[in-house]
Amino acid sequence: MRTRPTLTWTPTGEVWPTTESLDEVAGVLAEGNVLVLSGAGLSTESGIPDYRGATGSLRKHTPMTYQAFVESADGRRRYWARSHLGWRTIARAAPNDGHRAVTLLRAAGYVSGVITQNVDGLHQAAGTPEVVELHGSLDRVICLGCRRTSAREELDARLRAANPTFEAAATRINPDGDAEISGAAVADFRLVSCASCTGGVLKPDVVFFGENVPKERVDQCHRLVEGADSVLVLGSSLTVMSGLRFVRRAAEAGKPVLIVNRGATRGDRYATVRVDRALGPALTELTRRLDAA
Protein backbone atom coordinates (compact mmCIF):
# COMPACT_ATOMS: atom_id res chain seq x y z
CA MET A 1 0.00 0.00 0.00
CA ARG A 2 1.30 3.45 -0.89
CA THR A 3 0.26 6.74 0.64
CA ARG A 4 -0.58 9.97 -1.09
CA PRO A 5 2.54 12.18 -0.91
CA THR A 6 2.33 14.99 1.64
CA LEU A 7 4.49 17.75 0.22
CA THR A 8 3.17 20.79 2.03
CA TRP A 9 1.28 21.71 5.15
CA THR A 10 -0.86 24.81 5.64
CA PRO A 11 -1.04 26.20 9.20
CA THR A 12 -4.57 26.27 10.62
CA GLY A 13 -4.24 29.87 11.78
CA GLU A 14 -3.85 28.93 15.43
CA VAL A 15 -0.92 30.73 17.02
CA TRP A 16 1.19 28.68 19.42
CA PRO A 17 3.66 30.35 21.79
CA THR A 18 7.35 30.39 20.95
CA THR A 19 10.46 31.48 22.80
CA GLU A 20 14.16 32.00 22.24
CA SER A 21 14.98 30.82 25.75
CA LEU A 22 16.56 27.39 26.16
CA ASP A 23 15.84 27.18 29.88
CA GLU A 24 13.01 24.65 29.63
CA VAL A 25 14.84 22.52 27.07
CA ALA A 26 17.97 22.51 29.24
CA GLY A 27 15.90 21.50 32.27
CA VAL A 28 14.32 18.53 30.53
CA LEU A 29 17.63 17.45 28.99
CA ALA A 30 19.25 17.56 32.42
CA GLU A 31 16.85 14.82 33.53
CA GLY A 32 18.15 12.56 30.75
CA ASN A 33 16.53 9.81 28.67
CA VAL A 34 15.60 12.25 25.89
CA LEU A 35 14.84 10.91 22.41
CA VAL A 36 15.94 13.18 19.55
CA LEU A 37 13.95 13.38 16.32
CA SER A 38 15.88 15.39 13.73
CA GLY A 39 14.93 16.83 10.35
CA ALA A 40 16.41 18.68 7.40
CA GLY A 41 16.77 21.93 9.34
CA LEU A 42 19.62 20.38 11.30
CA SER A 43 21.67 19.93 8.11
CA THR A 44 21.19 23.34 6.51
CA GLU A 45 24.31 24.63 8.28
CA SER A 46 26.23 21.88 6.45
CA GLY A 47 25.17 23.35 3.11
CA ILE A 48 22.30 20.92 2.48
CA PRO A 49 19.03 22.77 1.80
CA ASP A 50 15.82 21.85 3.56
CA TYR A 51 12.44 21.23 1.97
CA ARG A 52 10.17 23.73 3.67
CA GLY A 53 12.21 26.51 5.26
CA ALA A 54 12.29 30.11 4.10
CA THR A 55 14.41 29.06 1.11
CA GLY A 56 13.21 25.45 1.02
CA SER A 57 13.55 23.46 -2.18
CA LEU A 58 9.82 22.67 -2.41
CA ARG A 59 9.31 26.29 -3.40
CA LYS A 60 11.22 25.53 -6.59
CA HIS A 61 10.85 21.86 -7.45
CA THR A 62 8.69 18.76 -6.98
CA PRO A 63 10.68 15.80 -5.64
CA MET A 64 10.57 12.36 -7.20
CA THR A 65 7.70 10.19 -5.97
CA TYR A 66 7.78 6.43 -5.58
CA GLN A 67 5.07 6.00 -8.18
CA ALA A 68 6.88 8.06 -10.81
CA PHE A 69 10.11 6.16 -10.15
CA VAL A 70 8.76 2.61 -10.42
CA GLU A 71 6.29 3.25 -13.24
CA SER A 72 8.49 5.14 -15.69
CA ALA A 73 11.93 4.43 -17.16
CA ASP A 74 12.08 8.11 -18.10
CA GLY A 75 11.37 9.00 -14.48
CA ARG A 76 14.21 6.77 -13.31
CA ARG A 77 16.55 8.24 -15.92
CA ARG A 78 15.65 11.75 -14.74
CA TYR A 79 16.25 10.80 -11.11
CA TRP A 80 19.55 8.99 -11.58
CA ALA A 81 21.04 11.58 -13.95
CA ARG A 82 20.32 14.35 -11.50
CA SER A 83 21.18 12.33 -8.40
CA HIS A 84 24.43 11.10 -9.96
CA LEU A 85 25.58 14.70 -9.88
CA GLY A 86 23.81 15.91 -6.73
CA TRP A 87 24.82 12.99 -4.53
CA ARG A 88 28.45 14.08 -4.75
CA THR A 89 27.56 17.32 -2.97
CA ILE A 90 25.70 15.42 -0.24
CA ALA A 91 28.60 12.97 0.14
CA ARG A 92 31.08 15.83 0.59
CA ALA A 93 29.01 17.56 3.28
CA ALA A 94 30.48 17.61 6.78
CA PRO A 95 28.69 17.56 10.15
CA ASN A 96 28.01 20.96 11.65
CA ASP A 97 27.89 22.25 15.23
CA GLY A 98 24.34 20.92 15.64
CA HIS A 99 25.31 17.35 14.73
CA ARG A 100 28.36 17.52 16.97
CA ALA A 101 26.24 18.81 19.86
CA VAL A 102 23.83 15.88 19.53
CA THR A 103 26.81 13.50 19.65
CA LEU A 104 28.10 15.18 22.82
CA LEU A 105 24.68 15.08 24.50
CA ARG A 106 24.36 11.40 23.59
CA ALA A 107 27.83 10.60 24.95
CA ALA A 108 27.08 12.48 28.17
CA GLY A 109 23.95 10.41 28.74
CA TYR A 110 21.35 13.14 28.27
CA VAL A 111 20.13 11.77 24.91
CA SER A 112 19.06 8.13 24.90
CA GLY A 113 18.49 7.72 21.17
CA VAL A 114 18.28 9.50 17.82
CA ILE A 115 15.75 9.11 15.03
CA THR A 116 16.53 11.14 11.93
CA GLN A 117 14.37 11.98 8.95
CA ASN A 118 17.53 12.96 7.07
CA VAL A 119 19.21 10.73 4.49
CA ASP A 120 22.63 12.43 4.56
CA GLY A 121 24.40 10.33 7.19
CA LEU A 122 25.73 13.39 9.03
CA HIS A 123 24.71 12.20 12.51
CA GLN A 124 26.85 9.09 12.02
CA ALA A 125 29.68 11.14 10.52
CA ALA A 126 29.64 13.24 13.71
CA GLY A 127 30.03 10.08 15.78
CA THR A 128 26.49 9.50 17.05
CA PRO A 129 25.89 5.75 17.51
CA GLU A 130 22.80 3.67 16.70
CA VAL A 131 20.98 6.34 14.69
CA VAL A 132 17.65 5.15 13.30
CA GLU A 133 17.41 6.40 9.72
CA LEU A 134 13.65 6.76 9.38
CA HIS A 135 13.79 7.54 5.67
CA GLY A 136 16.88 5.47 4.81
CA SER A 137 20.22 6.71 3.49
CA LEU A 138 21.59 7.95 0.19
CA ASP A 139 24.76 5.95 0.92
CA ARG A 140 22.97 2.73 -0.01
CA VAL A 141 21.24 1.38 -3.12
CA ILE A 142 18.62 -1.36 -3.19
CA CYS A 143 17.45 -3.59 -6.05
CA LEU A 144 13.66 -3.66 -6.31
CA GLY A 145 13.91 -7.17 -7.74
CA CYS A 146 16.26 -9.25 -5.55
CA ARG A 147 16.32 -6.69 -2.67
CA ARG A 148 20.12 -6.76 -2.45
CA THR A 149 21.63 -3.60 -1.02
CA SER A 150 24.99 -2.21 -2.08
CA ALA A 151 27.14 0.85 -1.48
CA ARG A 152 26.38 4.03 -3.39
CA GLU A 153 30.07 4.31 -4.29
CA GLU A 154 29.74 1.03 -6.21
CA LEU A 155 26.84 2.38 -8.26
CA ASP A 156 28.61 5.69 -8.76
CA ALA A 157 31.56 3.88 -10.37
CA ARG A 158 29.25 1.90 -12.65
CA LEU A 159 27.34 5.01 -13.70
CA ARG A 160 30.59 6.82 -14.45
CA ALA A 161 31.68 3.90 -16.65
CA ALA A 162 28.33 3.86 -18.45
CA ASN A 163 28.40 7.64 -18.99
CA PRO A 164 32.05 8.53 -19.65
CA THR A 165 31.19 11.80 -21.39
CA PHE A 166 28.48 12.90 -18.97
CA GLU A 167 28.97 16.54 -18.13
CA ALA A 168 26.34 18.70 -16.53
CA ALA A 169 26.31 21.76 -14.36
CA ALA A 170 23.91 21.77 -11.44
CA THR A 171 22.00 24.99 -10.89
CA ARG A 172 20.73 23.80 -7.49
CA ILE A 173 21.13 20.83 -5.14
CA ASN A 174 18.06 19.58 -3.29
CA PRO A 175 17.86 17.80 0.11
CA ASP A 176 17.45 14.35 -1.47
CA GLY A 177 20.55 14.80 -3.64
CA ASP A 178 18.45 15.68 -6.68
CA ALA A 179 20.29 18.28 -8.76
CA GLU A 180 18.75 20.66 -11.25
CA ILE A 181 20.36 20.02 -14.66
CA SER A 182 19.36 20.53 -18.29
CA GLY A 183 16.88 18.26 -20.03
CA ALA A 184 19.44 17.42 -22.71
CA ALA A 185 21.84 16.04 -20.12
CA VAL A 186 19.08 13.86 -18.68
CA ALA A 187 18.04 12.50 -22.09
CA ASP A 188 21.55 11.22 -22.85
CA PHE A 189 22.08 9.56 -19.47
CA ARG A 190 22.42 5.76 -19.47
CA LEU A 191 21.00 3.70 -16.61
CA VAL A 192 22.51 0.52 -15.18
CA SER A 193 20.64 -2.39 -13.61
CA CYS A 194 21.36 -4.67 -10.66
CA ALA A 195 24.69 -6.47 -10.97
CA SER A 196 23.44 -9.42 -8.90
CA CYS A 197 20.15 -10.42 -10.51
CA THR A 198 21.02 -8.85 -13.89
CA GLY A 199 18.12 -6.65 -14.78
CA GLY A 200 16.65 -5.51 -11.49
CA VAL A 201 15.73 -1.85 -11.07
CA LEU A 202 18.05 0.03 -8.73
CA LYS A 203 16.69 2.61 -6.30
CA PRO A 204 18.41 4.61 -3.56
CA ASP A 205 17.67 2.97 -0.22
CA VAL A 206 15.55 5.91 0.87
CA VAL A 207 11.82 6.36 1.38
CA PHE A 208 10.48 8.44 -1.50
CA PHE A 209 7.45 10.68 -1.21
CA GLY A 210 4.41 8.39 -1.56
CA GLU A 211 6.30 5.37 -0.18
CA ASN A 212 5.72 3.86 3.25
CA VAL A 213 8.41 3.62 5.89
CA PRO A 214 9.09 -0.12 6.52
CA LYS A 215 6.90 -1.41 9.35
CA GLU A 216 9.79 -2.86 11.35
CA ARG A 217 11.49 0.55 11.34
CA VAL A 218 8.29 2.27 12.47
CA ASP A 219 7.92 -0.30 15.27
CA GLN A 220 11.52 0.33 16.33
CA CYS A 221 10.84 4.06 16.55
CA HIS A 222 7.68 3.50 18.58
CA ARG A 223 9.71 1.43 21.05
CA LEU A 224 12.21 4.28 21.37
CA VAL A 225 9.38 6.75 22.05
CA GLU A 226 7.89 4.43 24.65
CA GLY A 227 11.24 4.00 26.38
CA ALA A 228 12.08 7.70 26.48
CA ASP A 229 10.99 10.23 29.09
CA SER A 230 10.72 13.07 26.57
CA VAL A 231 11.15 13.88 22.87
CA LEU A 232 13.30 16.68 21.44
CA VAL A 233 12.52 17.66 17.83
CA LEU A 234 15.38 19.38 15.99
CA GLY A 235 14.92 21.13 12.67
CA SER A 236 11.77 19.46 11.41
CA SER A 237 8.51 21.02 10.26
CA LEU A 238 6.85 17.65 11.04
CA THR A 239 4.82 18.05 7.85
CA VAL A 240 4.87 14.37 6.97
CA MET A 241 3.14 11.83 9.18
CA SER A 242 6.20 9.58 9.28
CA GLY A 243 7.72 11.87 11.93
CA LEU A 244 4.64 13.58 13.35
CA ARG A 245 3.15 10.31 14.62
CA PHE A 246 5.99 9.89 17.13
CA VAL A 247 5.42 13.38 18.49
CA ARG A 248 1.72 12.66 18.82
CA ARG A 249 2.43 9.39 20.59
CA ALA A 250 4.74 11.06 23.08
CA ALA A 251 2.22 13.82 23.78
CA GLU A 252 -0.60 11.31 24.24
CA ALA A 253 1.56 9.51 26.79
CA GLY A 254 2.04 12.76 28.69
CA LYS A 255 5.73 13.07 27.85
CA PRO A 256 7.30 16.50 27.28
CA VAL A 257 7.73 17.40 23.61
CA LEU A 258 10.41 20.02 22.97
CA ILE A 259 10.74 21.57 19.50
CA VAL A 260 13.70 23.65 18.35
CA ASN A 261 13.07 24.83 14.80
CA ARG A 262 13.08 27.90 12.59
CA GLY A 263 9.41 28.60 11.87
CA ALA A 264 6.11 26.94 12.71
CA THR A 265 5.71 23.17 12.67
CA ARG A 266 2.76 20.83 12.28
CA GLY A 267 3.52 19.55 15.77
CA ASP A 268 3.38 22.88 17.61
CA ARG A 269 0.05 22.00 19.24
CA TYR A 270 1.75 19.08 20.97
CA ALA A 271 4.82 21.00 22.12
CA THR A 272 5.59 21.65 25.75
CA VAL A 273 7.86 24.40 24.48
CA ARG A 274 8.90 25.53 21.00
CA VAL A 275 12.15 27.41 20.60
CA ASP A 276 12.60 29.44 17.41
CA ARG A 277 16.36 29.58 16.96
CA ALA A 278 19.08 28.38 14.61
CA LEU A 279 20.06 24.83 15.51
CA GLY A 280 23.85 25.05 15.60
CA PRO A 281 24.18 27.91 18.10
CA ALA A 282 21.23 26.70 20.19
CA LEU A 283 22.53 23.15 20.57
CA THR A 284 26.07 24.34 21.23
CA GLU A 285 24.72 26.52 24.04
CA LEU A 286 22.88 23.54 25.48
CA THR A 287 26.04 21.41 25.58
CA ARG A 288 27.83 24.17 27.48
CA ARG A 289 25.02 24.67 29.94
CA LEU A 290 24.93 20.94 30.66
CA ASP A 291 28.74 20.59 30.74
CA ALA A 292 28.54 18.12 27.85
CA ALA A 293 31.00 19.99 25.64
Annotated binding site: 39-59, 117-120, 143, 146, 194, 197, 235-237, 261-263, 279
Nearest to 177 by CA among 91, 116, 237, 238: 91
Compute the C-alpha angle 170/157/198, nearest 5°: 115
3-state secondary structure of 34: strand
Beta pairing, strands 202-206 & 257-260: unpaired
Per the annotation, where are the binding residues for Zn(2+)? Answer: 143, 146, 194, 197
| 135 is annotated as an active-site residue | yes
Query: For 52, what's the count of Cα atoms within 13 Å in the CB-facing half-sphere?
Result: 19
Q: Which of 84, 99, 123, 135 is catalytic?
A: 135
Q: Please report, for residues 98, 100, 109, 283, the alpha-carbon distance to residue 287 in angstroms, rounded to integers and kept in the order given.
A: 10, 10, 12, 6
Cβ contact 170:180 at 8 Å: yes
Ramachandran angles phi, psi of 285, nearest 5°: -60, -40
Q: Which residues are annotated as a binding site for NAD(+)?
A: 39-59, 117-120, 235-237, 261-263, 279
Catalytic residue set: 135
